[in-house]
Amino acid sequence: MLGFAHSKFGLEFASLQLPTQTLEQGLDVLEITRNIHIFVAAYMYNLNNQFFVERNSSNKHLNVLTIRHIANSVQTHGFGILNSTVNFAYQFLRKKLQTLFQFLYEEHIKSRLIKDIRVFREMMANEEMNRVGNDGNKLVKFPFERADKFVKGIRKLGITKDNMTYLDKFRQLLTQIGNVMGFVRMLRSGALHCTAEIANFIPDLDDLKQTLFETMVREESTEEFSEETFEAARNLDSVLKTIVDNYSEATDYFKLLVEVFAPTFRDTKHVHLKNFYVILPATTLNYVEHITLCKEKLARKNKQEGAAFTDDGFAMG
């Protein structure tokens, strides 16, 4: 409003010293977007309650990111940051998926996966080991022994400088991908939360789709209105259209990301991605060991680094 008063009427105001953010602003989406690679590594996602919590901190408290914080950021910066943030998320996902492709294409990993696929298919072909489910479909469970053997085999390949196996790194990669997807999911919820508060002052959103205030002004005017009046009506129509579009289910960011990445996954150059399902049992076993250890550290009297109660980025990924 100060900028409008200055440009339109040439008015000069003293600085009001008003804060540009709310008192419960929390983490800013714009800053997260600029450093999304740091955010997904430093924060853990909770799938049920939809929030992020900081993994480690030098302070006595941990930062959190909730839907309310995202709604505050949208209210501060406008709905335009949503598309920019999703674009940054896409760029980050593209890099991480490239790393995933390279990992699955490694000869040591690829050979083990092919061996497990052969064993699993033999199990499916063997009718004696098939189990019939309640719905009549034949169910074959991937053997725990094979997954455990895969984990131990990867450990023999060596560990990194930070005392992690290659499977740990792969789990972290999937977790970071899931954190980005969770962040995109929270963006949608935060935008809906912000729009719902604004929509409280609008009688009926459905009627707005067929209503244009500019047309109403032209039809109902008994005298000539100034161009500023029509411009104000157009601005109001634009604001209401933004509210309606963001309140509807039209903007499905997950669907957009799927449509973008689907051609890449189906490309014949990435046929080795068909082996991905075989590495999931071993990676899940690795994740269970990891989250169990984190919760055990949390229960100890002296809190150790790495203690955590949630890390649903892996499940999301």
pLDDT in tens, 94-139: 898 888 888 888 888 888 888 888 888 887 777 555 554 444 555 6
Q: How far apart are CA 268 and CA 285, in angstroms?
A: 30
Domain-located, residue 262: yes
The pTM of the whole model exceeds 0.75:
yes
Quote the pLDDT of residue 105: 82
Domain-located, residue 30: no
Compute, in degrees rounded to 10, the torsion defined by CA atoms 49, 186, 184, 248. 130
Domain-located, residue 293: yes
Quote the pLDDT of residue 304: 66
Domain-located, residue 33: no
293-316 CB burial, b ≥16 within 10 A, e <16:
ebeeeeeeeeeeeebbebbbbbeb
Domain-located, residue 244: yes
pLDDT in tens, 146-167: 888 888 888 888 777 777 888 8
Domain-located, residue 219: yes
How many other CB atoms are found less than 10 A from the CB of residue 74? Answer: 23
Residue ranges making up the domain that contains 163: 92-316
Q: How far apart are CA 41 and CA 65, in angstroms?
A: 14
Share above pLDDT 70 across residues of the chain, in percent, rounded to a whole number: 82
Closest by CA to 285, choosing from 170, 184, 183, 185, is 170
Domain-located, residue 58: no
Quote the pLDDT of residue 84: 87
pLDDT in tens, 222-269: 567 777 777 888 887 787 777 777 666 546 777 788 888 888 778 777
**pLDDT confidence band for 180 (50 / 70 / 90):** very high
Domain-located, residue 234: yes
Tally of domains in the chain = 1
